Structure 1
Amino acid sequence: MPTTGPTPRLWDAGAVALSLLGVWVALWVEPSTLPTEAPAWWWVDLLGGLAAAGVVLGRRRAPVGCALVVYGLSVVCTSAWLAGAVATFSIAVRRPWPTAAALGVLSLALGPLQGLLRVQTPENASWTALAWAAGSTVVVVATGAAVRARHELMDSLVERAERAESEAALRAEAARTAERTRIAREMHDVLAHRLSMVSLHAGALAHRRTASPGEIRDALEVVRAGAREALVDLRAILGVLRDPDADPTDPTAPGEVGTASVAPQPTLADLDRLLAGVRAAGTPVTLHDGLAGTPVPDECGRTLYRITQETLTNAARHAPGRPVEVRLAAVAGGEVELDVSNPLPAGGATGPPGNGLVGITERVELAGGRVHLRGPDGGRFRVTVRVPRRDEERVAAVVEPREEMA
């Protein structure tokens, strides 16, 4: 039982005081010892009542055992009657009500045995006295059961509150983990592409020793621009880490983060600029755009842009100089299919899937799409995904009921 309210020592003091009150009533207020009895019974009553008052101190550790001892004393000592009530109440508080009811019936059944040892008055042996004892036992058991039910309710409320706090902490930790994963994915997609292009331009510049000053100047300008854009993106992401309220994926919330402006997130409208940068780095790219006249929401466009960016970065890293084909097409079911492929590098070795391909799968799943192919296919390395073409209103309509059910 919880120790709310009075301390256990106060409860013990009250139980002993109530038991001693029974001794005082039985020996001085309404003496239970009759003139026809031996004077020694008065001392038996006194000692038995005091012993019963001491026994009730152990009711928390062994409520049933204490009750049986007190019931046994009450057979001989009339002064133990209030101690018996205290023991019955303790059982009802600390044990299920059937146990308390059974022991209450036992205490009533032991009452007539006192007539075998002590002289009884007509009042003590009447049906009225038996009814009074039965009624008081029922009241004591019911009160103890009510106290037990209240304690159990309080325990359940405390447990529920602790579980709610624990679940809230777990949800907060899961949200932080998801946010860190999202930011890491953005850093990988953006910075990996920028730095790969810078590395390719710098490598080409180092090997083309016969390049003209104009070509060298152009290459250096591309390297400078790529490094600057990578720095801008890095500052934007780090600004989000410093400011939890900032959202780098919100295209409607440009602002100042650190010393760099947070640019709106790209969509399919920026795909030509991405391909132009890759071509300038020395990777031939062919775009087959089958989405002419097909509206593509920004959410779907951002997902397709990031996947294309990652696949082009992988192609430039693992198969430099090999031509890349990018195909976009609208397919049945309101989806957009993106297919990016390039010839396998010399020897056909591509290595195990890296974090980039894992990130592509995560992006597609978060967008509600699926990955059809991700690996070698007939002498080419191919990534084929399908992403639902749905607008922001429809996404909100799908997400909000899930949040309400959660």
Structure 2
Amino acid sequence: MEEICAVSRRDRWANVVAVCAVGALTGMTIFGRQAGDLQPGWLALDVVVGIVACGLIPVLGRYPVQGALAQAALAMLSPAATPPSTVGTLTVAQRRPVRTAALVAAAGVVGHFVQELWRPINGLDLGWFIVLDVAVHAALLGWGQWMQARRQLLNSLRERALRAENEQGRRVAEARTLERTKMAREMHDVLAHRLSLLATYAGALEYRPDSSPEKLAKAAGVIRTGVHQALEELREVISVLRDSEIDELPGGRPQPTFGDLAGLVAESRDAGTEIRYAETVAAAESLPPATGRTAYRVVQEGLTNARKHAAGHPVTLVVDGKPGESLRIELSNPSGNGVPLAPGSGTGLVGLTERVHLAGGTLDHGRAPDGRFRLEASLPWPL
């Protein structure tokens, strides 16, 4: 509301200044024509026409065409309307299409031509007056159209810059959201793996209370270390989801690669899971990092599910492939008794399927005819 009032006050002051300036030019025009015009009675007509023509200047802001045509008509009666009529023609040329502005300029030419016929300027030939009249109005028309085109160009550039800025901001926000979601998924997989290990050790303590003090102390130490690591990883997940400006995981921890697969298997074996691991991968160093990371997540999710749903049963893991074909992962284990060792969200395989599909691969999982649960993934491996 305050901005609208400020604009309205600005427009009123602009009209006052314009009327005063054009009124001064009108007074000078009247004085100059009266000095060379000996016919009585022209002064009163010039003063009245000048006042009316100047009074139409504020009207140009809302009705530019009507106001300019009225000023052109007044220009037929008196040279006092020439300065206001010039302002009207220029205003229309600045605000209206070229055809409308040309018609208004033509009306101005006709109005001044009629004025010259019955109130000629001493010492100026009619032919030269017509040339000057047409030239002046053509210049006003061209100037106004140029100003209109320039204003439209600046507005267009300003709008394009604003749209580009908004689009860039939207792309940055989308990229940050996508990156945060991806990092949160990575940390979710890591955290689920860590908690499944803790559940395995806790289950061993629960079902084997007669173990030796050394084994109990070792299991308790592993649980304590695992809990500490799980808390750190949970804190990282929360920070990723809370901080909109984060660019990488806290601590700069690198993403896992295919080379970390052996360590993942060894960690699961240390937790008490029997794993039969067979790897026949040729030229593993040429495996794309994204493919290796996806393979790691597939094996991690498979081992996590095996510990949850088939604790105490052996797991068979086969990884093979070579460049130009594909990287194949097959993980199988006997079906459990239907009671998971630790509760889960049930969305791990859904997210894993999406991850594999985004990598251009395929993922199948389910119960095989022999009663074992199988998880099979195939990832592209270009040359």
- Output the TM-score relative to the length of structure 1: 0.76
Q: CA deviation at 1:55?
A: 0.9
The aligned counterpart of 2:198 is 198
Q: CA deviation at 1:324?
A: 3.4
Tell me which of 343, 349, 352 is aligned to 1:360: 352
Pair 1:164 & 2:164 matched: yes
The aligned counterpart of 1:31 is 34
Cα separation, 2, equivalents of 1:353 and 1:228: 22
Cα separation, 1, equivalents of 2:46 and 2:246: 78
Pair 1:66 & 2:57 matched: no
Cα separation, 2, equivalents of 1:45 and 1:19: 14
Cα separation, 1, equivalents of 2:345 and 2:372: 15
Tell me which of 264, 267, 274 is aligned to 2:264: 274
After TM superposition, the structure 1 stretch with the greater mean CA deviation from structure 2, 181-190 or 276-285, is: 276-285
The one-letter amino acid paired with 2:331 is V
Cα separation, 2, equivalents of 1:142 and 1:375: 78
1:31-77 Cα distance to aligned partner (Å, 9 max, x none): 399545x61x4322211111111211222222112212212222223
Cα separation, 1, equivalents of 2:296 and 2:320: 14
Cα separation, 2, equivalents of 1:33 and 1:87: 27
The one-letter amino acid paired with 2:29 is A
1:127-161 Cα distance to aligned partner (Å, 9 max, x none): 21111111000111111112122222222232233
Pair 1:129 & 2:129 matched: yes
- Output the TM-score relative to the length of structure 2: 0.80
Pair 1:339 & 2:340 matched: no
Change in Cα spacing, 1:344 to 1:137, as seen in structure 2 (3 Å) is farther
The aligned counterpart of 1:102 is 103
The one-letter amino acid paired with 1:364 is V
The one-letter amino acid paired with 2:104 is L
SS state of the match for residue 76, structure 2?
helix
Cα separation, 1, equivalents of 2:102 and 2:177: 54
Pair 1:290 & 2:291 matched: no
Change in Cα spacing, 1:242 to 1:79, as seen in structure 2 (3 Å) is closer
Change in Cα spacing, 1:270 to 1:122, as seen in structure 2 (3 Å) is closer
The one-letter amino acid paired with 1:42 is L
After TM superposition, the structure 1 stretch with the greater mean CA deviation from structure 2, 126-135 or 214-223, is: 214-223
Contact 2:112 2:133 in 1 (8 A): no
Tell me which of 272, 294, 314 is aligned to 1:303: 294
The aligned counterpart of 2:23 is 20
Change in Cα spacing, 1:381 to 1:146, as seen in structure 2 (3 Å) is farther
Q: CA deviation at 1:348?
A: 12
Q: CA deviation at 1:90?
A: 0.8
The one-letter amino acid paired with 2:100 is T
SS state of the match for residue 317, structure 2?
strand
Contact 2:109 2:133 in 1 (8 A): yes
The aligned counterpart of 2:3 is none
Cα separation, 2, equivalents of 1:224 and 1:155: 65
SS state of the match for residue 340, structure 1?
strand
Cα separation, 1, equivalents of 2:150 and 2:77: 35
Q: CA deviation at 1:343?
A: 4.8
Contact 2:282 2:321 in 1 (8 A): no
The aligned counterpart of 2:308 is 317
SS state of the match for residue 184, structure 1?
helix
Cα separation, 2, equivalents of 1:119 and 1:267: 96
Contact 1:267 1:298 in 2 (8 A): no
Q: CA deviation at 1:19?
A: 2.7
The aligned counterpart of 2:320 is 329
Q: CA deviation at 1:358?
A: 4.1
The one-letter amino acid paired with 2:171 is R
Change in Cα spacing, 1:246 to 1:168, as seen in structure 2 (3 Å) is closer
Change in Cα spacing, 1:112 to 1:244, as seen in structure 2 (3 Å) is closer
Contact 1:33 1:42 in 2 (8 A): no
1:69-114 Cα distance to aligned partner (Å, 9 max, x none): 2122222232111111101111111122232122112222344444
SS state of the match for residue 30, structure 1?
helix
The one-letter amino acid paired with 1:71 is A
Contact 1:16 1:56 in 2 (8 A): yes
Cα separation, 2, equivalents of 1:322 and 1:184: 30
Contact 2:362 2:378 in 1 (8 A): yes
Pair 1:387 & 2:379 matched: yes
Q: How does 1:367-386 map to 2 (within 5 A)?
A: 368-374=359-365, 378=369, 381-386=373-378
Change in Cα spacing, 1:382 to 1:150, as seen in structure 2 (3 Å) is farther
Cα separation, 1, equivalents of 2:360 and 2:345: 20
Cα separation, 1, equivalents of 2:143 and 2:116: 29
Cα separation, 2, equivalents of 1:283 and 1:128: 108
Between the two proteins, the alignment pairs up a number of residues equal to: 371
Percent sequence identity over aligned pairs: 34
After TM superposition, the structure 1 stretch with the greater mean CA deviation from structure 2, 210-219 or 132-141, is: 210-219
The aligned counterpart of 2:150 is 150
Aligned alpha-carbon RMSD (Å): 3.9
In structure 2, runs of 5+ residues without a counterpart are 1-5
Change in Cα spacing, 1:269 to 1:70, as seen in structure 2 (3 Å) is same
